[in-house]
Structure 1
Amino acid sequence: MNAIASVLVCLAYIGHARKPQKSSEQEDPAKTLATFLLALNGGIPSSSGTSISRPAVQMSTNPDAPIKLGVNGFGRIGRQVVRIAMDKDDFVVKHINSPMSPEYMKYLLEHDTVHGRFPGTVALSDNGLIINGLPVSLSATRDPTEIPWKDAGVEYVCESTGAFTTTEGCMKHIEGGAKKVIISAPAKDADTPTIVVGVNTDDYETSMKVVSCASCTTNGLAPIVKVINEKFGIKQGLMTTVHAATASQLTVDGSMKGADWRAGRAASANIIPSSTGAAKAVAKAYPVMKGKLTGMAFRVPTVDVSVVDLTCELEKETTYDDIKAEVKLASETYAKGIVGYTEDQVVSSDFVGETCSTVFDAGAGIMLTPTFVKLVSWYDNEWGYSTRLVDLVGTMAKVDGLEIKDESAVYFTARKVD
């Protein structure tokens, strides 16, 4: 939005706020302001029908919500999970474990450089935080067996510290009273099931105690791979993710453990080649891809939103127009809410707050031969991934027998229409 348009929107908001209204028609000032900010930040659905920004939210304040969620680790993913879960009527956040002080946790939840101010309310209490009027107890222990999940009433735990990425490690949460654990990272053992919502959601069974939500890049890649493979077949492919900087990187040159010396270079001043297991990990959720995909990453100095470049050899001859048509169909039907589609002239910042796992950029792909093509798809590696993690918890809860009211949520992979 240009400067003139911004001023016009601002004046319109001020005029609306000053306009007298009948008492029965008084609007919520916070809601009006949220709508104004949404317009100011370009949060309008694109002309192609794909929303490339999340809408203004109505924060949930249901203390009796069926899904009792706990969060271990209050970093980038942990905080977004809390924000997203608090926006769903089926969820209530009961407990957070983090070494941070309550005052600092309150501050970080309220203020976010990428995703903006928290749209609800946060206050301190004697026992923790009060979020949207609901009590959230806190603890600060490094031993999962000591986290009072049971006392807090938590059943599902988002494990987002990065320290516990195996079933053995996460079973300590079960010892502490939790019923299920969802790892917000790739599992580092062979026994932990990997569930990518929209790809193998139906693989979840209620007997599973610990599951991995894979990585943000696997979630950004796997749905596109599945759409293309089931229509055209993929013989083999190479993936490159141009990935926003993360908290694991350094702001200035420094030392890093291991042999990857380049990872220790300044994130704010370099494009840094890096390894990633995201492409190979697709096979954990979509086994037909085993041995067919591999890839690498470039870490770039942006704060959020990444893009997948998939160059692949197809089994069937086709045209790029046919590929676009299939992905567009998927975005509107059997993969709606998981796969997005846009023909707009987009750049990375347009996808901050995107809730789809991945948004296919129709104008960025190219085809060399009828079986050799480069496909480009964007993903918000923070918000989009955290949204899928919350959806995965919703899927698990529904399969586990909880009564879920939000039928609009993307809890189950939609079957492909014939």
Structure 2
Amino acid sequence: MRIAINGMGRIGRLLFRRLIDDEKIEVVAVNDIMPVDNLAYLIKYDSVYGTFAKNIIIENQYVEIQNKKIAVFQKEDPETLPWEELDIDVVLECSGNFSTKEKAGKHLTAGAKKVLLSTTGADDIPLLIYGFNQSRLTDDINIISPGGCMTNCSIHVLYILNSISIISAHINILHSYTSRQELVDAPNKNFRRGRAAAESVIPVEIDLHKSMERLMPAMQNKVASSSIRVPVANGAMAFFSIQLHEEVTAEHINLLFKKAANNSYKGIIDYTDEPVVSLDIKGNTHSCVIDGTLTSVIGNHCTIVAWFDNEYGFTSRMIDWLGVLHS
């Protein structure tokens, strides 16, 4: 499979690092407006995941890694990229700027066969979550939204718990700060996002509940969502406060997730009884790790905590999707 990556931010660069040695995948090209030397530097040195062990050579508009030459483009308009000439099977659209059917379709116009977003796309793009509804992929779907890190964490928790029947659910994601926040106080149309990200606990509005309703129509008007950005560079903790139609015990809830983690959801969700913290999840490939030590129940009201690496876990699902598209 010949792939290209459009947008070499946090997700694009991590995918590049992880895919460069994949024997089933050839990284043919990347596109980002940053200078090539800056791109090579940011691939090599990463503040979260450490130094890339392989030597990177810059040669004009190419980077070379272990005799593999990857073309580097700096085009703002995807339609001008030579995807047809390069015979690109899949473009990983990681810029965040082309998440509607019309905009993501520019890659198809340029000659790519498929586009896999790195986010929850607009409503006109199928929302297909690996491990949940990937079987709905059909041959005529050329643009795929695999959701985001929060969606991939939350949908499995709600779906499993809905076997008991959910009355209502509130999801609060304690999430590491992101590039859409400011390092120091600065103007921002969302005032709180403009505050210094590493200095405060910052509430941020999200539309995760809309994705849950798209994926599970039975949850219409039953789910709410919020997020709090915390001063860490990586990792997240999802806190679920859920009312069920019947009384349960913490032991019953934990058993549900243990069985899921060991059977049909193996590799997608995990379960732990260890007293972990966010740093322990760094590099974890699961969409969520249920923390059984923090499950709490009063009557029919339960609270559940799930950890996830918002970058590594999510890129793991994108790589799973490449496996589906390659088969």
- Identify if the C-alpha distance between structure 1 residues 321 and 132 changes in structure 2 by more than 3 Å, giving closer, same or farther: farther
Superposition deviation, residue 201 in structure 1: 1.1
Conservation of the 8 A alpha-carbon contact between 1:339 and 1:356: yes
1:137–1:152 contact (8 Å) kept in structure 2: no
User: Rg bigger for which structure?
Assistant: 1
Is 1:336 the equivalent of 2:279? no
Q: Which residue does the alignment assign to 1:245?
A: 177
Partner of 1:316: 246
CA contact (8 A) 2:32 2:75 kept: yes
Residue identity matched to 1:209: N
Supply the AA of the counterpart residue of 2:29.
H
State yes or no: 1:379 paired with 2:315: no
State the distance in 2 between where 1:292 and 1:309 align: 16
- Is 1:394–2:327 an aligned residue pair? no
Question: 1:263, CA displacement in angstroms?
Answer: 1.4
Identify the residue that residue 175 of structure 1 maps to in structure 2.
109
**TM-score with structure 2 setting the length:** 0.96
Equivalent position to 1:218, from 151, 161, 184:
151
2:65 is equivalent to residue 131 of structure 1: yes
Residue 225 (structure 2) pairs with residue 283 (structure 1): no
Gaps spanning 5+ residues in structure 1: where? 1-66, 399-418
What CA distance in whole angstroms lies between the structure 2 residues aligned with 1:311 and 1:317? 14
Does the CA-based 8 Å contact 1:364-1:376 persist in structure 2? Answer: yes
1:146 aligned to which of 69, 80, 84: 80
Question: Greater CA deviation, 241-250 or 209-218?
Answer: 209-218
Range that drifts further, 314-323 or 346-355:
314-323
Change in 2 beyond 3 A, CA 1:121/1:228:
farther
SS of structure 2 residue aligned to 1:151: coil
User: What SS does structure 1 have at the residue aligned with 2:76?
Assistant: coil
Secondary structure of the structure 1 residue equivalent to 2:293: coil
Q: Give the CA RMSD over aligned residues.
A: 1.4
Aligned-residue offset at 1:341: 0.6
Shift of 1:226: 1.6
Once the two structures are superposed, residues 145-204 of structure 1 have per-residue CA deviations (whole angstroms, 9 ceiling, x without a partner) of 01111222311011111111101111110011101111111213x211011111111111
Q: Does the Cα contact within 8 Å between 2:126 and 2:144 map onto a contact in 1? A: yes
The answer (yes or no) to whether the contact 1:206–1:396 under 8 Å persists in 2 is no
**Matched position secondary structure for 1:255:** coil
The partner residue of 2:288 within 349, 352, 358 is 358
Equivalent of residue 98 in structure 2, options 164, 173, 177: 164
Where has structure 1 moved over 4 Å in runs of 4 or more? none
SS at match of 1:206: coil
Higher relative contact order, chain-length normalized (CA < 8 Å, sep 6+): 1
Higher percent of residues as strand: 2
Match 1:301 to one of 231, 250, 258: 231
Which residue pairs with 2:124 in the alignment?
Answer: 191
Q: Which residue of 2 aligns with 1:12?
A: none
Q: Cα gap change, 1:87/1:328 in structure 2, threshold over 3 Å: closer, same or farther?
A: farther
Q: Distance in 2 between matches of 1:346 and 1:87?
A: 31
> 2 CA distance for matches of 1:77 and 1:299?
18
Contact 1:94 1:153 in 2 (8 A): no
- Give the Cα–Cα distance (whole angstroms) in 2 for the partners of residues 377 and 384 of structure 1: 12
- Equivalent-residue separation in structure 1 for 2:20 and 2:165 (angstroms): 40
CA contact (8 A) 2:61 2:73 kept: no
Tell me the matched-pair count.
Answer: 327
How far residue 87 of structure 1 moved from its aligned partner, in angstroms, is: 4.3
Helix, strand or coil at the partner of 2:306: strand
User: How far is 1:391 from its partner?
Assistant: 1.2
